[in-house]
Chain A
Amino acid sequence: MSFISWQYAFLLTGVFALYWQLAWRGRIWLLLATSYFFYGFWDARFLALHFTTTIVDFYAALAMGRQRVAIGKVAAMTSIPAAWLLLCKALHVQGHDVSWEHLLPSVALPVIFCALYSVLWRLPETKQRRAFLLLSLASNLVVLGFFKYCNFFAGSLVTGLQTLGWDPGWTLPHILLPVGISFYTFQAMSYTIDVYRGDAKPVADFPLFAAFLAFFPQLVAGPIERAHQMLPQFQTPRAWDTAALHRGARLILLGLFKKVFVADNCALLASHAFDPKTALDAPWALLGVLAFAMQIYGDFSGYTDLARGSAQMLGIKLNDNFRLPYFAQGPSDFWRRWHITLSSWFRDYVYIPLGGNRGGAFATLRNLWLTMLVAGLWHGANWTFVLWGAYHGALLILYRLVPPLRAIESAKSGWRVPLGVALMFALTLVGWAVFRCGSLAQLGNWFAAFAHPHVVDALPWRKPALWLALHAVPLLVIQFLTRRKQDEVEISAWPWPARGVAYAAMFVAVASSAGGDVDFIYFQF
């Protein structure tokens, strides 16, 4: 179910109305049921995967907190994914097939997990916590690796072997990517790692933990929340807060504006420019990447605003994910403003464990680069994403090694500030071209287009440029006016008539662009 569908409008309104009527426990159950319904709306079969992640991490974290559960109960709980798939098979839910190959791993889960659970409890206490952490991480990474990267690595291997003159003749299976898998597995891993580190306490209340992990506003595309920030909000009853309601409504309006008005309209031009069949000249190469920059920002930050707004209406505060990223003065600044919850996840769980900046200059740069490489791969199973990560890693290194660049990034005032913003924006655009191109060959064509001011078959670009300006400038104006607050939704300081006109204009902009049904880009990650 998409945030911009009428179904979601009804769902949120209904949940909002009911939520505030219920007692605390009722709210938890309501959130859990709604979240599973929301996720199952895409493909109910994949709920089995979510159940698996929830159950494994729940018992692994409890074990790390020295709370042992009867093996019968663990077996019963780990049988839920298989039972769910059998139910889907019996009812032929949504017309999707559930084959025996689908069922086999879920049937094996209770056997394998119970066996490991019993064995690990017999380990010496000093090794036990680490072993349960590894069990949790392994189960999450196996699920993520299989569904997201299996075909990519196997395909790359086949291509590599073919290049060497040997065709293994393998037929790769068609593996569907469950929506939002990268987001919820990362949130689940952060929970077990935090419990292991002692930064969070294990939750003994299963429905509460399941509601935390499946919380529908941020389930499929983040923000990736931390247990120690999010769980307390589930554990204590939330009080009605009119100010939070207003902020939630503003976030939802802004999210719709960014997604429906900005992103979907800019997507028209970006899709054309990055279509491999398009005759590309310099104006279109630039126009296309500018359009994509606005599209991806409008799309993802719009999604985040919708998620945060929906959560705020239920009294839950989610973390910021964007702070005017195109105003960044350098790559470090950019990653403090773009997809903040993912950046901080990689900082805390990859960069710092790799050694962070503790091992000298070379080790720091190596760790930075490796972290960005993995972050690139997180975005998708394609070499262009890896290249995008490597590119941003290289930028981070460059800005650290070259003093003038470092000075530009850290400038607080003067001419260095606009220079830094312009330079970083240009570098970000190159990164988006790498990100958007489907192949290295296409990326080469994009760069080559800048050598051709005009190509005969290229479409005229002036009017499309006006189309881009029409949809990008209003957002940039809002960003500029709210730059001190670093949050576009903070227009609450304006006089109320100005706010009213701004809201009306945003609503009209959304309504006059309605009609498309374009998925959010980050759903595929």
Chain B
Amino acid sequence: MRRVFTKSFLLVIALFCASELTVRIFFARSMSGRFDYGYHPTAGFQENADGSVDLLRTGGRRFHKQHFQKERPAGVFRILVIGDSVPRGGSPALAYSGQLAAQLEKQGVRVESLNLAVAGFGAHRSHLVLAKALDYQPSLIIRHVNNSNEYEDEREWRRSQDFKGWHPKNWLMKSLVLRRLYEMKTEKVFWEWVPEKIRAQASLNDADAQIATSLDERKVREWQERVRKFVGEDVAACRARGVPILLVAQARREKSADGKFYLDDHGLDELTAGFKAPDVAVVSMKQVFAPLDFAPLFGDGAHLFPKGHGVLAEAIAAELNGWLLKKN
């Protein structure tokens, strides 16, 4: 009589079990990231035995690669910038975090500015990055406040919670081997070989859903309150650790019906102004850019060209000179 389980089937099972066991014993540390969707508080920060820290991928997205010492060097003003793709910029040097450091260096301040911004991160994920960043003795946290990523934040949060459950659709990915292979294929092949435009087309349904949801006024109000809640928690966390925080309120370049550009803060000026205190400063992009010929400084509706980053860095430096650096 034939056996129900063939030798080849048993070989598959043996190969799978052996590789899973090997990965769980030897490579478990590298198995984080995508499936935490950025909600793992330590995702993206790799603390090394020599006391240094490397910034890596977090939740399937990447920090700019940076390296620093966990202990802030004596006499150094350490600035950590947290937010989404706008403060992230093209590179740490070209973004306002780097340009701010360059300006302050010219004033004789020893500055270490680290860019912890990740594209697509909304209030919740930025809050988790901030909570971890406070471990690295910042002299100042710059929190770039935006409210256009809440749909994605909420969706990713829901997915991460789903994944933690034992729903059958997640069963395959409970295996570290399969999860790692999935990540590798996604990040090393899919992202490298398939142009972004095609990837975006493939997630058309998500984009459609995002547009549909963003037209729902009730949902938009909910998101605004969600941003307010997490920024409040950011401020409280910094206050509890004695770290000053500067809130940068995002403004978008919009086009009116007659073809003229104007700036819209989408309620963020009002939201951030409510947190102003001796240990909390606020810089409004709308107020910074409105007096200027701002249109050429924006690459698109939200993102700035390096020159625009420079303008923002100047405004932040001016704020710091009248605030923290004046005291020093």
Known: A496-B7, A500-B7, A513-B185. A463 touches B194 (CB 8 A): yes
The proximity string for A residues 427-464 relative to B, scoring 1 for CB distances below 8 Å and 0 otherwise, is: 00000000000000000000000000000000110011
With a cutoff of 8 Å between Cβ atoms, the chain A residues found around residue B190 in the complex are: 467
5 contacts between A and B (CB under 8 A): A268-B198, A459-B195, A501-B11, A508-B178, A511-B175
Tell me whether A236 is interfacial, beta carbon within 8 Å. no
Known: A496-B7, A511-B172. A463 touches B193 (CB 8 A): yes
Known: A268-B198, A504-B15. A512 touches B6 (CB 8 A): no
Tell me whether A515 is interfacial, beta carbon within 8 Å. yes
Q: Are B4 and A242 in contact (CB under 8 A)?
A: yes
Find the B residue at minimum CB distance from A461. Answer: B195
Q: Are A245 and B169 in contact (CB under 8 A)?
A: no
Known: A242-B4, A466-B193. A512 touches B181 (CB 8 A): yes
With a cutoff of 8 Å between Cβ atoms, the chain B residues found around residue A503 in the complex are: 8-9, 12
Q: Which of B1-57 contact A (CB under 8 A)?
A: 1-4, 6-12, 15-16
The proximity string for A residues 474-504 relative to B, scoring 1 for CB distances below 8 Å and 0 otherwise, is: 0000000000000000000000110111011
Q: Which of A267-294 contact B (CB under 8 A)?
A: 268-269, 271-272, 275
Known: A272-B201, A511-B172. A500 touches B182 (CB 8 A): no
Q: Are B202 and A271 in contact (CB under 8 A)?
A: yes
Q: Are B181 and A508 in contact (CB under 8 A)?
A: yes
Residues of A within 8 A of B (CB): 6, 9-10, 242-243, 245-246, 249, 268-269, 271-272, 275, 459-460, 463-464, 466-467, 470, 496-497, 499-501, 503-504, 507-508, 511-515
Tell me whether B197 is interfacial, beta carbon within 8 Å. yes
With a cutoff of 8 Å between Cβ atoms, the chain B residues found around residue A504 in the complex are: 11-12, 15-16
Give the total number of A-B pairs whose CB atoms are below 8 A apart: 90
Known: A9-B168, A470-B189, A496-B7. A464 touches B198 (CB 8 A): yes
> Which residue of A464, A511, A513 has the most chain B CB atoms within 10 A of its CB atom?
A511
Tell me whether B208 is interfacial, beta carbon within 8 Å. no
With a cutoff of 8 Å between Cβ atoms, the chain A residues found around residue B217 in the complex are: none
Tell me whether B258 is interfacial, beta carbon within 8 Å. no
With a cutoff of 8 Å between Cβ atoms, the chain B residues found around residue A512 in the complex are: 178, 181-182, 184-185
Find the A residue at minimum CB distance from B204. Answer: A271
Find the B residue at minimum CB distance from A275. Answer: B201
Known: A6-B169, A500-B8, A500-B12. A460 touches B195 (CB 8 A): yes
Known: A242-B1, A242-B2, A515-B182. A271 touches B201 (CB 8 A): yes
Which 6 A-B residue pairings sit nearest by Cβ, starting from the closest?
A500-B11, A500-B8, A499-B8, A242-B2, A6-B168, A463-B193
Known: A460-B195, A464-B194. A242 touches B12 (CB 8 A): no
Tell me whether B192 is interfacial, beta carbon within 8 Å. yes
With a cutoff of 8 Å between Cβ atoms, the chain B residues found around residue A508 in the complex are: 178, 181
Distance in angstroms between the alpha carbons of A276 and B193 in the assembled complex = 22
Distance in angstroms between the alpha carbons of A363 and B202 in the assembled complex = 47
With a cutoff of 8 Å between Cβ atoms, the chain B residues found around residue A497 in the complex are: 8, 11
With a cutoff of 8 Å between Cβ atoms, the chain B residues found around residue A511 in the complex are: 172, 175, 178, 181-182
Distance in angstroms between the alpha carbons of A504 and B19 in the assembled complex = 12
Find the B residue at minimum CB distance from A242. Answer: B2
The proximity string for B residues 167-211 relative to A, scoring 1 for CB distances below 8 Å and 0 otherwise, is: 111011101001001101100011011110111011000000000
Find the A residue at minimum CB distance from B170. Answer: A6
Distance in angstroms between the alpha carbons of A459 and B201 in the assembled complex = 13
Shortest beta-carbon distance from B204 to chain A in Å: 9
Q: Are A464 and B195 in contact (CB under 8 A)?
A: yes
* A243, A496, A513: the one within 8 Å of B11 (CB): A496
> Which residue of A242, A249, A271, A504 has the most chain B CB atoms within 10 A of its CB atom?
A504
Distance in angstroms between the alpha carbons of A108 and B299 in the assembled complex = 64
Distance in angstroms between the alpha carbons of A467 and B198 in the assembled complex = 12
Find the B residue at minimum CB distance from A272. Answer: B198
* 20 extra A-B contacts, CB within 8 A, seeds A6-B169, A504-B12: A9-B168, A242-B1, A242-B3, A245-B4, A246-B6, A268-B199, A271-B198, A272-B198, A463-B192, A463-B193, A463-B194, A467-B189, A497-B8, A497-B11, A499-B8, A500-B8, A500-B11, A511-B172, A512-B184, A514-B172
Known: A242-B4, A503-B8, A504-B12. A268 touches B194 (CB 8 A): yes
* A271, A467, A496, A514: the one within 8 Å of B8 (CB): A496
With a cutoff of 8 Å between Cβ atoms, the chain B residues found around residue A272 in the complex are: 197-198, 201
Find the A residue at minimum CB distance from B202. Answer: A268
With a cutoff of 8 Å between Cβ atoms, the chain A residues found around residue B2 in the complex are: 242-243, 246
With a cutoff of 8 Å between Cβ atoms, the chain B residues found around residue A470 in the complex are: 189, 193
With a cutoff of 8 Å between Cβ atoms, the chain A residues found around residue B194 in the complex are: 268-269, 463-464, 467
Distance in angstroms between the alpha carbons of A500 and B5 in the assembled complex = 12
Q: Which of B199-253 contact A (CB under 8 A)?
A: 199, 201-202
Q: Are B12 and A507 in contact (CB under 8 A)?
A: yes
Shortest beta-carbon distance from A175 to chain B in Å: 23
Distance in angstroms between the alpha carbons of A375 and B127 in the assembled complex = 59
Find the A residue at minimum CB distance from B184. Answer: A512
Shortest beta-carbon distance from B172 to chain A in Å: 5
Q: Are B12 and A514 in contact (CB under 8 A)?
A: no
Q: Are A467 and B178 in contact (CB under 8 A)?
A: no
With a cutoff of 8 Å between Cβ atoms, the chain A residues found around residue B202 in the complex are: 268, 271
With a cutoff of 8 Å between Cβ atoms, the chain A residues found around residue B189 in the complex are: 467, 470
Distance in angstroms between the alpha carbons of A271 and B9 in the assembled complex = 36
With a cutoff of 8 Å between Cβ atoms, the chain A residues found around residue B175 in the complex are: 511
With a cutoff of 8 Å between Cβ atoms, the chain B residues found around residue A464 in the complex are: 193-195, 198
Find the B residue at minimum CB distance from A6. Answer: B168
With a cutoff of 8 Å between Cβ atoms, the chain B residues found around residue A243 in the complex are: 2
Distance in angstroms between the alpha carbons of A10 and B167 in the assembled complex = 12
With a cutoff of 8 Å between Cβ atoms, the chain B residues found around residue A245 in the complex are: 4
Shortest beta-carbon distance from A247 to chain B in Å: 11
With a cutoff of 8 Å between Cβ atoms, the chain A residues found around residue B1 in the complex are: 242
Distance in angstroms between the alpha carbons of A496 and B198 in the assembled complex = 40
With a cutoff of 8 Å between Cβ atoms, the chain A residues found around residue B195 in the complex are: 459-460, 463-464
Q: Which of B70-99 contact A (CB under 8 A)?
A: none
With a cutoff of 8 Å between Cβ atoms, the chain B residues found around residue A6 in the complex are: 167-169, 171
Q: Are B197 and A459 in contact (CB under 8 A)?
A: yes
With a cutoff of 8 Å between Cβ atoms, the chain B residues found around residue A249 in the complex are: 9
Find the B residue at minimum CB distance from A494. Answer: B8
Distance in angstroms between the alpha carbons of A246 and B10 in the assembled complex = 13
With a cutoff of 8 Å between Cβ atoms, the chain B residues found around residue A269 in the complex are: 194, 198
Find the A residue at minimum CB distance from B205. Answer: A517
With a cutoff of 8 Å between Cβ atoms, the chain A residues found around residue B3 in the complex are: 242
With a cutoff of 8 Å between Cβ atoms, the chain B residues found around residue A466 in the complex are: 193
Distance in angstroms between the alpha carbons of A496 and B9 in the assembled complex = 9
